[in-house]
Chain A
């Protein structure tokens, strides 16, 4: 197996470039083409198959008793009455479950030096540390009966002081959630390029601001779902679950339940939204699997919406105090920031709760040329549900902070926001560049993206319109936000190297069937973004077969090669590259076989539309014929030719921690300064995800991501009271973006292929979410500029706007 980085040869690169323009180009014909998804056809017919749609014989249903307190000791737990309820098959307490597990989870990674977290059991034992933590489980004939029986569990609590406010978590005398940790600090990290204070002192202008970011959660429409079945005769545990990372779940569940990995099968059927929520291991899901083993019967758990709000991972709750130093010319000298990041009661196993703060430090101000940078982050534990990775991890925070400061500095210097960025963006011909935070940036295109944006949004005309409308008392604002996005993480300094059982490599096994059909099994997973479709496009293009000849298999650990799954915008960039290379290997073998059968030089042959052609373009041998001979009539082959017809490739980044992407957003909003309401008029994104494999799917990733970001900027907020109770745990009270409030979003791409792979694809799924909040906040502040008012905390509610305007 080889793993050195490969580059496209010039002729291959040219062929691929041609192919993106002309579908008729014989090779690479499907790259750059919009093709519809088969999964979409199933979904519109009501034939989607999600975990809750799967019904097994003798299946039972799980429901959970959850802690009503943010922090409380369990003094007594009486479950006999529950056991006597109709239909009940099993009741497990946290202590019962502990006895069935090999040990607790500890959500630390050695890559984060000094990080600490307390041991966490799948259900609370002795003490609950957040409102919503599972405490006991009932398994019954129906979900309704299980829920009834949960109410019959008797429990005596002693409420303990809760740590709810991140600003008070490290104060002297603050209650300590886990005494063995000594305090509530999870992790600290700092970056300092040196003498930052001196460089700031020498600058012409320093702008300082504080930012609060509200706590969010992913709100996938399909809640977390798991159906476990254990066959005691074979010792095999089969789990169907709404997951992005089947192999990680396999490993974590097998280890925790004391089973060998290879006897645990994880199937991810249709997944109804994920956004990072479904890359984690959850105690209630593990409890469901443990119950299935205990009972030898299938057990299903489907979270309801309130359970989702109080037990899905949370994210985004951060406070940042930041400064920018600039010269009169507009040149950015540096950024200086302090981050206080609010984890939950435990660091989420196995990915931890510190990546968010870590990413804020990595990417803040990342588009710019400044050399001076100081950033410090503290991550603290609170009596709230654990926080962890959620779409665009840390980027919405870092981008909002930096872009706000850049705009404020530009305003104070009298420089237009576009011009301010033009003067500071890293030049397109400068790469590779090591950013001020130490990140490695390659193959980016900030300047080109800015130019495309200005043209597409008709910036000058919008500014003129804005000025005219102001005369009429209409307050519109234009907000710009440049960004970088870390995508497709590599193994260096990441999960695996820190001890997490998560592969940063991904894989493809591709094979030729007797009829000439291609089966392409991939480790990355599909949650609606169209991964399966683009894998088929890549395989068909690399092989030279019609797209309908390829069927992609994903989301089943029994059927696909080992991989990390889908997270961090890695599907196309990592998984797609594995498919590309595996398909090339299969193509090479097919041509070798064809050469033997045709007595021709393999190098003189090509595959076009599933048929081997010679150098003159004559059709010589169909893949169906090669499949037939190699699978059924091997006597026609020379003795020294042993067909394999199944090729495997694994791909990972080598030295680079990420494939960074870049782009720029613009938001156009109108603010009603009497009510504080914000209307979104339009949004633009120009981004560079490298080679675009399916333009429609790439655009829709950006659009959906933008709206998720806008939701966070304007509406979404998990509101906790002082006792640690979530007070808005319904979809009516936790506001998500709906069709009526959202704008149309104009999306364009600049394609700078990544030099880290042959295919050149980068991640695209988080580029909308990462910078939309920054653009919207800047647009609102642009609208408020005539009133010398500004907002810097999210969600930007009408209340916050009216408060900024001094009206309340």
Chain B
């Protein structure tokens, strides 16, 4: 089957160099989950709508189910595990826990990846703007208000402490 055609790729994932022979049809998120055991990114729809598989690729937020692993050859990929380890969003994570901005937690890694983009930009945002920024991430549990609260609180705290993190 053409699906079994494989290519060698080399990339950086959460700061570590990785080389693997991958099926050309394998999605980036499947590669991360199945080959590297990075199960923080989740599969919610596999057609680019729900945002549960959101990743940072070369600094840009992408949907891991809409990108092939071979397209990430040479790229720098950051997953929720990487963001967690780097401490970049420690304040955001703490705000999510304190505000209970998650219930089942399945959307949470994608939601945090998306929110990380917003809080690191260091620009003041209204609640409506935060809601618009998160509009591509589906959460079935919370009703979103707690998430908006947590993102807003983190952003405002960073702004009051002199600009967002990079």
Contacts and interface: CB of A to CB of B under 8 A. Distances in A.
Interface of A: 36-37, 39-50, 52-53, 55, 85-86, 144-145, 148, 218-223, 270-275, 302, 304-305, 527-530, 696-697, 700, 703-708, 730-732, 736-740, 742, 744-745, 768
Given A696-B100, A707-B144, A270 B135 contact: no
B25 to A, nearest CB: 7
Cβ-closest 6 pairs across A and B: A46-B40, A43-B105, A272-B106, A528-B103, A528-B104, A707-B143
Contact of A40 (B33, B38, B52, B105): B105
A532 B127 CA distance: 31
Given A221-B50, A305-B47, A744-B145, 18 more contacts: A43-B108, A44-B102, A46-B84, A48-B39, A48-B109, A53-B39, A86-B4, A145-B3, A270-B105, A273-B103, A273-B141, A528-B103, A528-B104, A703-B146, A704-B103, A736-B140, A739-B135, A740-B131
B104 A700 contact: no
Of A705, A731, A732, most buried by chain B (CB within 10 Å of CB) is A731
B98 interface: yes
27 contacts: A39-B105, A40-B97, A40-B100, A44-B93, A44-B102, A46-B81, A46-B109, A50-B42, A85-B1, A86-B1, A144-B3, A218-B140, A220-B106, A221-B50, A221-B140, A222-B44, A222-B106, A272-B106, A700-B142, A708-B140, A738-B138, A739-B131, A739-B132, A739-B144, A740-B135, A742-B131, A742-B145
Contacts of A745: 143, 145
Given A52-B43, A86-B4, A739-B147, A40 B96 contact: yes
B131 A730 contact: no
Contacts of B148: 739, 744
Contacts of A738: 134-138, 144
B70 interface: no
Nearest to B44: A221
A36 B97 contact: yes
Contacts of B142: 700, 703-704, 707
B106 A48 contact: yes
A584 to B, nearest CB: 28
Contacts of B52: 221
Given A44-B93, A44-B102, A527-B104, A731 B47 contact: yes
B155 interface: no
Contacts of A304: 46
B97 A41 contact: yes
B102 A43 contact: yes
A287 B21 CA distance: 33
Contacts of A50: 39, 42, 106
A530 B132 CA distance: 28
Nearest to B134: A739
B23 interface: yes
A731 B45 contact: yes
B44 A706 contact: no
A144 B104 contact: no
Contacts of A272: 42, 104-106
Contacts of A44: 84, 93, 96-97, 102, 105, 108, 112
Contacts of B81: 45-46
B106 A305 contact: no
A286 to B, nearest CB: 23
Contacts of B49: 730-732
B140 to A, nearest CB: 5
Contact residues of A: prevailing secondary structure: loop
A47 B106 CA distance: 10
Given A44-B96, A48-B108, A732 B39 contact: no
B97 A37 contact: yes
Interface string B21-61: 00101100000010001111111111101101000000000
B135 A305 contact: no
Given A220-B140, A305-B44, A738-B138, A528 B102 contact: yes
Contacts of A739: 130-132, 134-135, 137, 139, 144, 147-148
Contacts of A708: 140, 143
A48 B105 contact: yes
Contacts of A144: 3, 23, 25-26
A285 to B, nearest CB: 18
Nearest to A38: B97
A569 to B, nearest CB: 15
Contacts of B42: 50, 52, 221-222, 272
B104 A703 contact: no
Contacts of B140: 218-221, 273, 275, 704, 708, 736
B107 interface: yes
B148 to A, nearest CB: 7
B103 A529 contact: yes
Contacts of B98: 36
Given A45-B93, A739-B134, A730 B147 contact: no
Contacts of B102: 40, 43-44, 528
A221 B107 contact: yes
A660 B9 CA distance: 59
Contacts of B23: 144
Contacts of B97: 36-37, 40-41, 44
Nearest to A697: B100
